């Protein structure tokens, strides 16, 4: 059981860091902090819509893995003897 817990914790940390990186890679949708730091000025540098869709899909997949790790660790803590 300890190996599963350690594996989930490692996956949680790596997933959290990767998820943060992926969220920061997204193009600003207008307004907010992204425009304040110059995100609104570079409209042609964002990339194609296919790349944005793939980035969205990867971000959602990593978020699901991260959420599953959180739930798994909660279940292991709840039913540990």
Ranges of each domain in the chain? 52-81
Is residue 19 within 8 A of residue 63, CB to CB? The reply is yes
pLDDT tens, per residue, the chain with 81 residues:
789 999 999 999 999 999 999 999 887 766 555 565 665 555 555 556 888 889 999 999 999 999 999 999 999 999 986
pTM of the predicted structure, to 2 decimals: 0.74
**Closest of 52, 50, 67 to residue 22, by C-alpha:** 52
Check residue 4 and give its pLDDT: 93
Check residue 77 and give its pLDDT: 93
């Amino acid at each position: 059981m300890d190996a599963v817990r350690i594996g989930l914790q490692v996956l949680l940390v790596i997933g959290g860091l990767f998820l943060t990186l992926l969220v920061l890679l997204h193009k600003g949708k207008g307004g907010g902090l992204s425009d304040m730091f110059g995100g609104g000025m570079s409209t042609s540098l964002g990339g194609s819509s296919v790349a944005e869709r793939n980035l969205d899909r990867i971000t959602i997949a990593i978020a699901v893995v991260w959420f599953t790790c959180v739930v798994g660790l909660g279940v292991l803590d709840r039913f540990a003897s």
